Homo-oligomer: A and B are copies of this chain.
Amino acid sequence: MATSPDLSHEPTSADGPDALASAPGDGVAPGLAQGAPTFSPLYQQIKMLILRSLQAGEWKPGDTIPSEFDLAARFRVSQGTVRKAIDELATDNLLVRRQGKGTFVATHAEQHIQYRFLRLLPDTGDLDSQGPAERRIIECRRLRASAEVARQLALRSGDPILQVKRVLAFSGTPAILEDLWLPGGPFKGLTVETLSDDKGPMYALFETQFGVRMVRAVEKIKAVSADADAARLLDVPEGHPLLSVERLAYTYNDTPMELRRGLYRTDSRHYRNELS
Q: Is A44 an interface residue (CB 8 A)?
A: no
B218 touches A273 (CB 8 A): yes
B222 touches A272 (CB 8 A): no
Residue of B92, B222, B274 touching A216 (CB-CB under 8 A): B274
Q: Is A55 an interface residue (CB 8 A)?
A: no
Docked pose: A264 CA to B221 CA in angstroms: 11
Q: In chain A, residues 152-189, which have Cβ atoms closer than 8 Å to a Cβ of chain B?
A: none
Known contacts: A216-B275, A273-B273. The answer to whether A223 contacts B266 by CB under 8 A is: yes
Docked pose: A247 CA to B276 CA in angstroms: 12
Q: In chain A, residues 78-117, which have Cβ atoms closer than 8 Å to a Cβ of chain B?
A: 91-93, 116-117
Taking CB atoms, residues of chain B closer than 8 Å to A273 are 119, 218-219, 221, 273
Taking CB atoms, residues of chain B closer than 8 Å to A242 are 223, 241
B221 touches A276 (CB 8 A): no
Q: Is the interface of A mostly helix, strand, loop or mixed?
A: strand
Q: Is A11 an interface residue (CB 8 A)?
A: no
Taking CB atoms, residues of chain B closer than 8 Å to A274 are 216-219
Docked pose: A224 CA to B216 CA in angstroms: 28
A222 touches B276 (CB 8 A): no
Docked pose: A224 CA to B270 CA in angstroms: 11
- Closest CB in chain B relative to A108 CB, distance in Å: 12
Known contacts: A93-B276, A239-B239, A241-B241. The answer to whether A271 contacts B216 by CB under 8 A is: no
B221 touches A270 (CB 8 A): yes
Residue of B222, B264, B272 touching A271 (CB-CB under 8 A): B222
Task: Report which residue of A116, A218, A239, A275 has the largest number of chain B beta carbons within 10 angstroms of its beta carbon.
Answer: A275
- Closest CB in chain B relative to A238 CB, distance in Å: 12
Residue of B nearest to A219 (CB): B273
- Closest CB in chain B relative to A224 CB, distance in Å: 5
Taking CB atoms, residues of chain B closer than 8 Å to A264 are 223
Taking CB atoms, residues of chain B closer than 8 Å to A243 are 221-223, 243
Taking CB atoms, residues of chain B closer than 8 Å to A221 are 221, 243, 266, 270-273
Task: Report which residue of A215, A239, A243, A244 has the largest number of chain B beta carbons within 10 angstroms of its beta carbon.
Answer: A243
A-B contact pairs, 6 of them (CB 8 A): A117-B275, A217-B275, A218-B274, A220-B272, A223-B242, A239-B239
Known: A116-B275, A222-B270, A239-B239. 6 other contacts (CB 8 A): A91-B91, A92-B276, A93-B276, A217-B276, A223-B242, A225-B241
Q: A residues bordering B, Cβ < 8 Å?
A: 91-93, 116-117, 119, 123, 215-225, 239, 241-244, 246-247, 264, 266, 270-276
